[in-house]
Structure 1
């Protein structure tokens, strides 16, 4: 089994792509610096051209703790920021954390344990969505349910074991370097695409449910719709570039969108019996809202949130242009 380089507590580089994160950056970095891990750590913030006080906050954090390093990310794009931070790092373990996420105190210790135990090149856990406002809490419930996002273990939990992809990720640095890091042409779906190349290169991607990362959901319907539209759009790009990476779970949202619209239109134009598929989807949403909600307010909000997530993802998948990432072949 491949052991990590160095001592039982190898040095860790935690890398964060940061853009317009004045509300969450400080708490995110604090959760990293307060780890119970016994080995050396550094935190590399790849700061994009933010329109808020993000850079000011980052500089204050860095001046107060020498473990925090700032690198400039002129484009603000996630993949470039990750690569810039990766090039700045030298440690054998590279842990990605987002600036609006928070990790538990034993996260880094667990990561080293799992990397050593499994020999995996990338490990990750549960994207534990937690909201503050009633809308965010409703979105969080949908994101942690198979009714909202399908049965991905990093959303809904499950048994530890090899998977296709994980949330964020903690990597053996040499594995990242061997495949050239993140593909900077991808605005979204960098994780899916990167993990495909890691697996193609013989690596194992491993999920462990003990690795919980607190994720803050979008706070408005518009922001949620934009997020899921981009998810669908870029997941289609991955499926074009890497054949065989699509499955029925990813096809469900576009099929639901087309089926619902066709049913509604044909039901109006031809016969009420053609409303049946749309009615089935509506009943599914109602049942899912009952299952997920913990209050009357959440129930009614889920009637908006669930179709927004499903249909925005489906619309992005269907409308994704081939020109987003031209073929290199």
Structure 2
């Protein structure tokens, strides 16, 4: 479990891990980044209370670096990746181990089920769980078991990780997708089991959400630079929306200044404004749909959905054009979380 500034979530995440009932020895290796909110002190206290918890340092604070440090320090033949912002469902580990054996897979993952406490977080969680929000990846709600492109978090055979190499430490986001690509290229199977469920708690504020999605989009753009068409077509929808918005702004300026007029202006308006109008109707439709929550949650939905798409798309375009370089998820830095009840 890589950990950075997760004081509000860490104890709940650890409890869900240690509560897993399996008939083999277990340990929990925390890779501690340089937190400034008391997370490290909390982790040390929890480690003193349970000998199954072990600590390693991750001074770089990068997720793949921390994951590799934890994997190298681990002692057992199966690696269960977990997240400090998540909670494993009861029976998760036991089910995953059975699925690994039943399907002869190298990596098994399940559903990322987002939850929220505030109206904002509930709006984000609802969109995480919707194909409209994150593009319909299997782990966002599919009920069909089978081979998969990637796996959320992942329960992995250590021997396969040793064979293909651990996480690529030059990739700050999307490192799981790239690892699973190498696993599949080596002839092994990645499997999705919808009976496996992990509760994920999204970012708690609009600015943190925008930062998270911009960074994630930048690294997907980097992955497109590196691996081209191996990336699914759904990844290109948000940058297309960004380009459409930019085109609409340019068109509007040209029309206001009289540069663009007549029949040409009408045709361009239909081509540019109509798709944007349909997108706005989609946003409103999602916000007003049944089970969309209270008024505040619905209002947040109208802001959160385009924020997710546009932030991701802007990051993606930057990642494709100049590479992700040293882009980090700034939403995880410098936080001051309040412990949950």
Same fold (TM over 0.5): yes
Aligned residues between the structures:
311
Q: Deviations over 1:271-308 (max 9, x none)?
A: 47343222121112112222362232222111100000
**Structure of higher RCO (CA pairs closer than 8 Å, 6+ residues apart):** 2
Mean Cα displacement is larger for which, 231-240 or 94-103? 231-240
Q: How does 1:158-197 map to 2 (within 5 A)?
A: 158-197=143-182
Pick from 179, 202, 212: which aligns with 2:197? 212
What residue is the counterpart of 1:201 in the other structure? Answer: 186
- 2: distance between equivalents of 1:54 and 1:109? 28
Q: Deviations over 1:183-217 (max 9, x none)?
A: 11111111111111111111111111111101010
Indicate if the aligned counterparts of 2:225 and 2:323 stay in contact, CA closer than 8 A.
no
What residue is the counterpart of 1:294 in the other structure? Answer: 293
Pick from 226, 241, 249: which aligns with 2:226? 241
What residue is the counterpart of 2:304 in the other structure? Answer: 305
1:77 equivalent to 2:58? Answer no
Tell me the CA shift for residue 156 of structure 1.
Answer: 2.2
- 1: distance between equivalents of 2:322 and 2:78? 35
1:24 equivalent to 2:9? Answer yes
Indicate if the aligned counterparts of 2:77 and 2:157 stay in contact, CA closer than 8 A.
yes
What residue is the counterpart of 2:280 in the other structure? Answer: 282
What residue is the counterpart of 2:317 in the other structure? Answer: 318
Alpha carbon RMSD of aligned pairs, Å? 1.6
- 2: distance between equivalents of 1:98 and 1:287? 32
- 2: distance between equivalents of 1:279 and 1:323? 32
1:142 equivalent to 2:89? Answer no
Indicate if the aligned counterparts of 1:229 and 1:317 stay in contact, CA closer than 8 A.
yes
- 2: distance between equivalents of 1:95 and 1:134? 32
- 2: distance between equivalents of 1:265 and 1:325? 29
Mean Cα displacement is larger for which, 317-326 or 131-140? 317-326
1:124 equivalent to 2:124? Answer no
- 1: distance between equivalents of 2:242 and 2:15? 41
Indicate if the aligned counterparts of 1:28 and 1:102 stay in contact, CA closer than 8 A.
yes
- 1: distance between equivalents of 2:297 and 2:325? 38
What residue is the counterpart of 1:222 in the other structure? Answer: 207
- 1: distance between equivalents of 2:176 and 2:48? 31
Q: Which runs of 5+ in 1 are unaligned?
A: 1-15
Indicate if the aligned counterparts of 2:63 and 2:172 stay in contact, CA closer than 8 A.
yes
- 1: distance between equivalents of 2:108 and 2:212? 24
What residue is the counterpart of 2:246 in the other structure? Answer: 261
Pick from 153, 171, 175: which aligns with 2:138? 153
Pick from 57, 60, 80: which aligns with 2:45? 60
- 2: distance between equivalents of 1:298 and 1:23? 22
- 2: distance between equivalents of 1:47 and 1:182? 17
Q: 1:303 to 1:17 in 2, by over 3 A?
A: same
Tell me the CA shift for residue 268 of structure 1.
Answer: 4.9
Q: Which runs of 5+ in 2 are unaligned?
A: 256-264, 327-341
- 2: distance between equivalents of 1:265 and 1:220? 31
- 2: distance between equivalents of 1:177 and 1:280? 48
